Structure 1
Amino acid sequence: MKTKKTRILNQTPTPATNQKINKFWNFVNKDDESAELQLFGEISSEDSWWNEDSVTYRDFIADLNALGDKKNINVVIQSSGGDVFAANAIYNALNLNKATITGTIIGICASAATIILMACDKRRIAKNAILIAHNPSISLWGSYTSEDLLELAGRTDRVKKSIVTAYMERLDKTEEEINQIMDVESWYVGQEAVDAGFCDEVIETGFQDNAFSNKFSVNGVPCSFKNYLETVVPDNIRKKVQALSITPPKESGTFSNKNVQKGSNNMGEESTKNTAPVITDAAHLRSAYPEFVNQIVTDAVNTERERLKAIDEIASGIPDDVLNKAKYGEPISAADLALAQMKANNKAGQQTLNNIVADLTDSGAAAVGSTPNAGTSEEDDKKAESEAKVNNFASFLGKDKRRGAK
């Protein structure tokens, strides 16, 4: 029976190579208080895989311990990932170290390498560097039954859980949100990694002490990054990076939509993070959103025209000064104007009646009663009858409680 070998990976595809596998790290002892750790290449598993020359994380931990007590360790990352178990072991080793760990992504930090980044107290990324987060995969060699494959699928899910746990320690996101980020294979360039919470800041220039020109020293050997994209990076990744090279400036303004950028499988797609110009006054608003402002103006003009038209329709009997005040001085609606005029008319009518009663009372007509007919003419009788009606009306008004006390 064939030996079954499995290896759970979390890394981006890399070109096949027959070269000898060397250490993917290099420790540089700067001084008594600080050291630098350079992580370059694939993170190797505990067991030798394709040959006997693989150097594993056990050697890494031995080199880390050999540094002794350091106050600061700067971790420079240029790795497309590798073995999850090895990355978890390095993550825990850095977490247990007493030094302040600063992680700096200079080119790519993908897959399992992002686990190591989460162990850093401070996480930095070059403005054109890339961070990739996605689900782990499993490599198989041998013959497997369906039950074997189902069991391996369950193991892979548990491995993903370990990655999510490391992410949740540093990202201000729920487990569901992190799972979604990994499910869609999320790519972040520079500032996008900061926006997503994977990094704390973007490094513009001068982020590497031992960098000179376009070279880095790895294991004491200068390595040139000239034409790196053209000669080392696979075609599919190079095209995605080049498609992202032109990005609009990020600005904040009055109108903004701060959505969380979770990356995309299609790196040519425009970022879902919306940007908006800075709005400081009406002129800027009109310049930035002319159609929006014109629509507001049109609606306002139409509304005012309808208000003036409605006032004109009820203007009959309303004094001009009242109309002008309602239209232009202290603008009100036609309905409010009509109600105000009704109240004014009622008050004026009430005052007129009060004046009539006062005049009748002052003249003494209300106190004069009717006298029996003593042979007066018919004309005198009608006059007396009219005066009696007026007197009764005045007396009635004076007693009418609805008009209020005088």
Structure 2
Amino acid sequence: MRTWKPSALSSRGLRRQALRWVPCQQRMSRSHQRKEVIVMGETKKITTLNDLKQKNNIFWQIRNEAGEAEAELLLYGEIASSSWGDDEVTPKQFAEDLKALGGKDLKLRINSPGGDVFAAQAIYNQLKTYTGNITACIDGMAASAATIITCAADKVVMPRNGIFMIHNPMCIVIDYMDVPKLKKMTDRLTAVKQTIVNVYMKKCKNVAEAKLNKLMDAETWMSADEALAYGFVDEVDTDEQVENFLQGSVAVVNNVSIDMTRFKQPEKLKDILQSKPKEDKDMDDEKTLLDKLRDLLGADNSQQDKKKQPDPVAVERQRMLDLDAMRDGSELVDKIVDIAKKKGNTAEEIREYVDQVKESAAKDKPQQSGIEEIKNLIKDQLASGADKVGLNPADETNKEADKKAAEVNSLVAAMKNMRGDK
């Protein structure tokens, strides 16, 4: 294809023009009389290259109030609209701004779709040598090159509905190129990717290098919980909520827009933006467990008294066999089966509940708290002697049934109080 680039294949020309991690490129005419910069899909005319650096390359803001123990570094929007590859002025300015803080603790607030990989690496290196403690707060999105910068912090905090994305570095080629030149370009991209992987490995100590490479190859969008699981994030802020919405092919995350058409996996981003917070879903699931626990312990058994069993001995024997078949070695499931045996429940009556408990127990560790609460309640119920009252005794009076239902309701209410439910 017929294209043009600033210099044939010089290292300076290639680094400035090509190794950009998001599609936001500078282009200049041969005569250098007209210059433009393309930012987020909009073409803006400028006068000189110095104007470009002054207007667009100071992309950070530092807040350092006298008397405050902590300073703030804000990185909102794109990281450097022109490359730091052969720019010595801008990184020096950033270093001077950082040095002026005198080692004061720093809160890094970042909400960025990415930008120039050289700028991100330079910022990462400067932050890693900073003497103060650094806490990174992802105020919405950390994507592409922005993820390099977050890895420099001592602690990374991400809101529940924030967004984290990693992918491979990309380049734009404006030149006639043969196979050797293309090979040279791919070798440089491979080297750049390795520097990024090295950063991620220092942060995600339990993730193998091969796995990180696969995540980058696939362009992986992560929720806060997923980023926490991989080790990119140290804490999920369940109180802070980010304002996200979709407008056509543009996603707006806390007032920072991003064109989803430039990514390989825009549907994953949409899913994260539109998903219900995992914590809320888990609470709904456990409330369903509460309802089933109420039924299991006998809060509503009016229909069972009406059942007639033509062969009580055979039916009872089969009931015991069916219940024993549900055991899986789990202490909680065994307790449920034992209660069902004593109270006269059948396997079918508790199957849905047991399946729900098994599914919950198989989830991630944060899900175990609800299971432990149910386990403790069942232990308390067994210790209290309440299980010694049969589920369907022939001589049970209405008064005893009401008392039993009240005790069960009290158990469920106690579990809700433990969880803080209303």
- Is the contact made by 1:42 and 1:79 (CA closer than 8 Å) also made in structure 2? yes
Quick one: which of 257, 263, 270 aligns to 1:232? 257
**Could you list the runs of 5+ residues in structure 1 that have no partner in the other structure?**
215-225, 254-274, 288-296, 305-406
The structure 1 residue matched to 2:207, chosen from 173, 176, 185, is 173
* Correspondences of 1:316-331 after superposition (within 5 Å): none
For 1:30, the aligned partner's letter is E
Which letter maps to 1:46? W
Equivalent position of 1:16 in the other structure:
42
Match of 1:46 in 2: 84
Letter of the 2:275 counterpart: I
Distance 1:303 1:130 in 2: 46
Shift of 1:280: 8.5
Q: Which has the larger radius of gyration?
A: 1
Question: How many aligned positions are there?
Answer: 254
Secondary structure at the aligned position of 1:178 is classed as: helix
Distance 1:85 1:300, change over 3 A: same
Distance 1:276 1:205 in 2: 21
Pick closer, same or farther for the CA change 1:65–1:17 going to 2, 3 Å.
Answer: farther
Query: Counterparts in 2 of 1:306-345, with a 5 A limit?
Result: none
C-alpha spacing 1:40/1:303, structure 2 compared with 1 (3 Å): closer
Question: What is the alpha-carbon distance in structure 1 between the residues aligned to residue 240 and residue 185 of structure 2?
Answer: 45
1:113 aligns with 2:151: no
Post-superposition offset of 1:179: 0.8
CA distance in 2: counterparts of 1:143 and 1:40, whole angstroms: 36
Partner of 1:64: 98
Q: Residue 3 of structure 1 corresponds to which residue in structure 2?
A: 8
Report what 2:233 is aligned to: 199
1:34 matched residue in structure 2? 70
Segments of structure 2 that go 5 or more residues without pairing to the other structure are: 1-5, 25-39, 46-54, 245-250, 297-317, 326-422
CA offset at residue 99 of structure 1?
0.5
Taking the aligned partners of 1:123 and 1:279, their CA distance within structure 2 comes to 34
1:154/1:27 Cα in 2 relative to 1: closer, same or farther (>3 Å)? Answer: same
What amino acid sits opposite 2:172 in the alignment? Answer: S
Distance 1:240 1:102, change over 3 A: same
Kindly indicate whether the alpha-carbon contact (under 8 Å) linking 2:160 and 2:240 is maintained by their aligned counterparts in 1.
no
Q: CA deviation at 1:188?
A: 1.2
Shift of 1:142: 2.5
Q: Secondary structure at the match of 1:99?
A: coil
Structure 2 CA distance, aligned partners of 1:194 and 1:99? 24
Q: Which whole-Å deviations, capped at 9, do the CAs of 1:141-184 have from their partners, x for residues lacking one?
A: 22322101101101111111111111111112110111111111
After superposition, the Cα gap between the structure-2 partners of 1:280 and 1:231, relative to the gap in structure 1 and judged at 3 Å, is closer
1:3-402 pair list within 5 angstroms: 3-4=8-9, 5-6=13-14, 7-11=18-22, 14-18=40-44, 20-32=55-67, 33-44=69-80, 45-46=83-84, 56-70=90-104, 72-171=105-204, 172-205=206-239, 232-234=257-259, 236=261, 241-244=269-272, 245-247=274-276, 249-250=278-279, 284=293, 300-301=321-322
AA at the equivalent of 1:83: D
Paired letter, 1:247: K
TM-score (norm 1): 0.53
* Identity across matched positions, percent: 32
The alpha carbon displacement at 1:186 in A equals 0.6
Tell me which amino acid in the other structure corresponds to 2:221: W
The 1:176–1:240 alpha-carbon spacing in structure 2 relative to 1, beyond 3 Å, is closer
Verify the 8 A CA contact 1:21 1:55 in the aligned structure 2. no
3-state SS of paired residue (1:142): coil
1:64 CA drift (Å): 1.1
Cα 1:197–1:302 shift into 2, 3 Å: closer
3-state secondary structure, aligned to 2:278: coil
User: Structure 2: which amino acid aligns with 1:243?
Assistant: D
Cα distance, 1:81 vs structure 2: 1.4
Question: Residue 47 of structure 1 contacts residue 56 of structure 1 at CA under 8 Å; is this kept in 2?
Answer: no
CA distance in 2 between counterparts of 1:303 and 1:68 reads: 69
**Preserved CA contact (<8 Å) 1:252 1:278:** no
Rounded Cα–Cα distance in structure 2 between residues aligned with 1:94 and 1:162 = 16
TM-aligned CA distance change 1:55 to 1:140, over 3 Å = farther
Alpha-carbon distance between aligned partners in 2 of 1:16 and 1:95, rounded to the nearest angstrom: 34
> Any idea what SS the aligned residue of 1:164 has?
helix
Cα deviation for residue 89 of structure 1 reads 1.4
Change (3 A) 1:227 1:118: closer
Cα 1:116–1:230 shift into 2, 3 Å:
closer
Contact 2:113/2:142, CA 8 A, preserved across alignment: yes
Q: Does the 8 A contact of 2:207 with 2:230 survive in 1?
A: no
CA RMSD, 1 decimal: 4.1
Q: Which TM-score applies when normalising by structure 2?
A: 0.51
